[in-house]
């Protein structure tokens, strides 16, 4: 019996455009000059771009000039040596995007039509001694989808071409309101050759925690030879803490129970550590190991809590880990590139690390993208970010015919089996906004018969059935947003704010409410909300032709995909929010700063107002807030906190401060200031609140304070009386450690709108000492944004008050100079060697 052998087939591929009607052996007869080098994993766009055959799709308006790529057929070929054969030989395709036929030595092996379903084919008898040729042919996805649509009929949707609803492909490839239309094709995940006499098809675990021990019920699905299966659990340091072997001769499954004393629990970030055990299963023949499978697992309990909210109608919607309730503050995640092969494990770790550094504890993998690469979930495991995982359905009325359902079942089973061992995975969710769309066209909602919305067969039938069978200990939620039926069994609109989750788009979309009113559109769990801004100036200019680098240019507008039924209107909505709040200068740099300013202020208000409603146990009125969105897939004006170059926007810092384990918020009210202390820790916090009110010339108009106790995982509020002011003011609250006076948190509230008064004339000083910037001013400074390529400051977009200066640390050696901008203060270069501007 042979040992298991896994060989990546990633090098030496070539790609060619092929005409209609050319298949199988005829593909191999294409002339040599028709073929280009191609990477696997890869896409046709990526191969053409590397060969210089197409321009960068992200530059200017090149997106339109490369649309033809998605309309053609593309063949991929690889020659490889058979070598010594194992008892069993499989070819494994982890992802073929999307309509693909595969041949080996002229014989057709398979036809695939779902990019999310891995394929495995036995080729032991098909491999020839010496050289073998593998051929893949990808059909144009949009054309194929339109063929299906022509038979089954058009269906309603938001974003992209209606035919996308019939094809199991990443839906954002067809264009979205933040992304280009790039309909890529190719072997987007690994292609491998697997030689084996025994293999572990699947390895699963269910755990129970209690009384100082963990009980793990483990099961392996087996193929092939072997006399016994050994299960072992390694602790985070790699030491064996439990083991059991079971005989397997003639069995397709092996199971065992492992018991661990004093288990080390996995926690979301901020509440504890993230120790990861390793579950190992081995197939043995005597003492000889034939196959092995490993899973890194965390030991924890998780519960979705829906219970009454004191003094309010409806019920809560929040998560509890290891018995500890937590406010889930985080973001929605989209694919980090349109060419998925470019997203390396290091890039996944960087993005997830940026979310963690912003004090987030949850990411939602949105349903119009992909079931992400293993590196994403591993990074979330390691850094303590919970994952809300959508199934890949978004903004459409999907079919529920037998063929479609069969494909979705295979897709869902593959996704659940691959991801269910991750400690970070908190919830499976059926779709994104499909119930909202059904309501908008009268197919769902109060008084509407359930059968009118046929995709309920997916979201309330097939998908929960798969999850219950394969991952029964993790909650399933039919959609986002979703509102369960009321006690009478009648449908309830998904916009209901008293139960379930909600997408609060009254700000930006819908009524275009002022962002200052986020508190009016709260919900039990706000799973989407957001405000647009431009990307960084450096990234923007890198994709704008020089003649187009002004705010109203055609290319600037092209890189804003937001729209409505009336057509593209993101630029108009952005202009309204600018006009309502600021006076904006004429340059592109002015507009980049202004849009990022408004986004940051909107996020400060939103996260604070949502988190302020996370009060005592029994009064968890808002259980979480996930901004739309964390990241971008290309250089674009969007709702992202991090642009496509990886640069964080000012809003990232606003979220980081609002989501700190201890945060404060201040709001000016008639006759006073409302102060909130938000404590996310499992221990109580005692702080001294210090409030100062400044005039715009720097004069202190009022000063007061109060001691405040904040119990664990709560928000507490107090109102301090203030005199009335006939002039614009800014109120600054500091939370100080009562023992040593150390600053723990701060926040500022300004008279708004900012456009009605000027903050010009402040004298700003920036000096450097080692890797610390020392900041000071003589009058209030709003939105101080410090820039230099590669500079990573632990705080930025700062409100700076006269008096005691601020210190900001850098993660790298400080440069010789940097640029600083603030509201009504022009961009100024500061020479750090001299300490002045």
Q: Name the residue with tokens 């008279």.
A: 751
Residue 324's alpha-carbon distances to 301, 302, 320, 619, in angstroms, are: 10, 9, 5, 15
Q: How buried is residue 117: exposed, middle or buried, by Cβ count under 10 Å (0-12/13-18/19+)? A: buried
| CA angle (436, 440, 446) in 5-degree steps | 80
Distance separating alpha carbons of residues 416 and 357, to the nearest angstrom: 28
Q: Where are the beta strands (DSSP E) in 628-740?
A: 662-669, 672-679, 685-695, 700-710, 714-721, 729-736
Active site residues: 433
Q: Which two tokens stand for residue 538?
A: 């450096």
Element (H, E) at 279: strand 277-285
Q: What distance in Å separates the CA atoms of residue 271 and residue 250, rounded to the nearest whole number?
A: 46
Q: Which two tokens stand for residue 304?
A: 């979705």
**Residue 14 belongs to what H/E stretch?**
strand 14-18
Q: Which residues contact 353 (CB under 8 A, 6 or more apart)?
A: 379, 383
Rounded CA-CA distance 356/363 in Å is 10
- Structure letter (DSSP) for residue 503: E
Give the C-alpha separation, 472 to 480, whole Å. Answer: 20
Output the six-digit token pair for 323: 């018995």
Residue 532 and residue 354: Cα distance in Å, rounded? Answer: 19
- Which residue, among 84, 59, 72, 66, has the nearest Cα to 15 in the 3D structure? 72
Q: How many residues does the chain have?
A: 837
636 phi/psi in degrees, rounded to 5: -155, 150
3-state helix, strand, coil in the chain (%, to 5): 20, 35, 40
Residue 37: CB atoms within 10 Å: 12
């Amino acid at each position: 019996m042979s040992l298991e052998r896994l060989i990546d087939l990633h090098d030496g591929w070539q790609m060619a455009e092929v005409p209609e009607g050319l298949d199988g052996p005829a593909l191999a007869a294409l002339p040599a000059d028709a073929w280009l080098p191609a990477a696997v994993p890869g896409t046709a766009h990526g191969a053409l771009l590397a060969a210089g055959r197409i321009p960068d799709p992200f530059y200017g308006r090149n997106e339109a000039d490369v649309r033809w790529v998605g309309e053609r057929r593309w063949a991929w070929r690889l020659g490889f040596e058979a070598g010594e054969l194992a008892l069993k030989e499989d070819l494994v395709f982890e992802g073929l995007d999307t309509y693909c036929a595969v041949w080996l030595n002229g014989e057709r092996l398979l036809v695939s039509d779902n990019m999310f379903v891995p394929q495995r084919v036995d080729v032991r008898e098909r491999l020839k001694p010496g050289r073998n040729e593998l051929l893949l042919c990808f059909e144009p996805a949009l054309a194929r989808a339109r063929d299906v649509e022509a038979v089954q009929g058009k269906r309603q949707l938001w974003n992209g071409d209606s035919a996308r609803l019939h094809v199991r492909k990443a839906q954002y490839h067809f264009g979205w309101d933040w992304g280009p239309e790039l309909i890529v094709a190719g072997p987007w995940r690994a292609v491998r050759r697997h030689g084996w006499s025994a293999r572990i098809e699947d390895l699963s675990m269910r755990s129970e925690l209690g009384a100082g021990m963990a009980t793990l019920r483990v099961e392996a699905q087996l193929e092939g030879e072997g006399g016994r299966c050994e299960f072992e659990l390694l602790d985070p340091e790699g030491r064996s803490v439990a083991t059991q072997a079971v005989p397997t001769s003639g069995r397709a499954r092996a199971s065992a129970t492992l018991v661990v004393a004093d288990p080390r629990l996995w926690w979301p970030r901020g509440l504890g550590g993230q120790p990861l055990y390793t579950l190992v299963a081995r197939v043995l023949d005597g003492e000889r190991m034939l196959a092995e499978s490993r899973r890194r697992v965390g030991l924890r309990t998780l519960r979705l809590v829906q219970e009454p909210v004191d003094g309010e109608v409806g019920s809560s919607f929040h998560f509890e880990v290891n018995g500890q309730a937590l406010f889930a503050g985080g973001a929605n995640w989209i694919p980090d590139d349109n060419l998925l092969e470019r997203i390396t494990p290091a890039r996944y770790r960087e993005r997830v690390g940026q979310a963690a550094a912003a004090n987030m504890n949850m990411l939602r993998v949105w349903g119009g993208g992909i079931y992400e690469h293993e590196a994403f979930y591993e990074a979330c495991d390691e850094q303590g970010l919970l994952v809300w995982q959508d199934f890949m359905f978004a903004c459409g009325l999907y079919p529920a015919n037998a063929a479609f359902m069969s494909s979705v079942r295979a897709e869902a089973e593959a996704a659940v089996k691959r991801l269910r061992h991750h400690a970070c995975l908190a919830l499976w969710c059926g779709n994104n906004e499909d119930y909202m769309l059904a309501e908008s066209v009268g197919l769902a909602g109060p008084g509407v018969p359930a059968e009118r919305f046929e995709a309920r067969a997916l979201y309330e039938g097939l998908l929960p059935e798969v999850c219950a069978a394969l991952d029964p200990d993790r909650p399933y939620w039919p959609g986002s947003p979703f509102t369960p039926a009321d006690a009478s069994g009648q449908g309830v609109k998904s916009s209901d704010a008293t139960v379930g989750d909600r997408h609060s788009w009254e700000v930006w979309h819908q009524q275009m409410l002022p962002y200052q009113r986020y508190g009016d559109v709260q919900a039990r769990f706000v799973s989407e909300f957001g405000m647009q801004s431009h990307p960084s100036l450096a990234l923007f200019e890198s994709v704008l032709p020089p003649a187009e680098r002004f705010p109203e240019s055609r290319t600037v507008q092209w890189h804003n995909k937001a729209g409505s039924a009336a057509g593209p209107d993101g630029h108009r909505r952005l202009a309204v929010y600018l006009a309502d709040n600021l006076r904006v200068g004429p340059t592109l740099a002015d507009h980049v700063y202004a849009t990022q300013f408004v986004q940051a202020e909107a996020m400060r208000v939103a996260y604070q107002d949502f988190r302020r409603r996370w009060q005592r146990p029994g009064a968890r009125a808002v259980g979480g807030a996930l901004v739309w969105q964390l990241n971008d897939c290309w250089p674009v004006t969007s709702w992202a906190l991090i642009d496509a170059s990886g640069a964080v926007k000012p809003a990232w810092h606003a979220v980081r401060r609002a989501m700190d384990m201890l945060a404060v918020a201040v709001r000016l009210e008639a006759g006073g200031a409302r102060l909130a202390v938000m404590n996310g820790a499992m221990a109580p916090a005692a702080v001294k609140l210090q409030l100062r009110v400044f005039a715009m010339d720097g004069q202190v108009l009022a000063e007061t304070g109060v001691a405040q106790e904040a119990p664990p995982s709560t928000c507490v509020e107090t109102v301090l009386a203030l005199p009335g002011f006939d002039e614009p003011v800014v109120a600054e609250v500091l939370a100080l450690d009562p023992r040593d006076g150390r600053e723990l948190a701060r926040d500022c509230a300004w008279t708004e709108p900012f456009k009605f008064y000027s903050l010009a004339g402040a004298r700003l000083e920036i000096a450097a000492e080692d890797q610390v910037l020392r900041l000071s001013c003589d009058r209030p400074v709003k939105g101080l944004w410090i820039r230099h390529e590669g500079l990573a400051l632990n705080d930025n977009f700062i409100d700076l008050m006269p008096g005691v200066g601020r210190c900001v640390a850098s993660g790298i050696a400080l440069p010789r100079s940097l640029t600083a901008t603030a509201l009504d203060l022009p961009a100024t270069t500061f020479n750090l060697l001299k300490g002045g501007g």
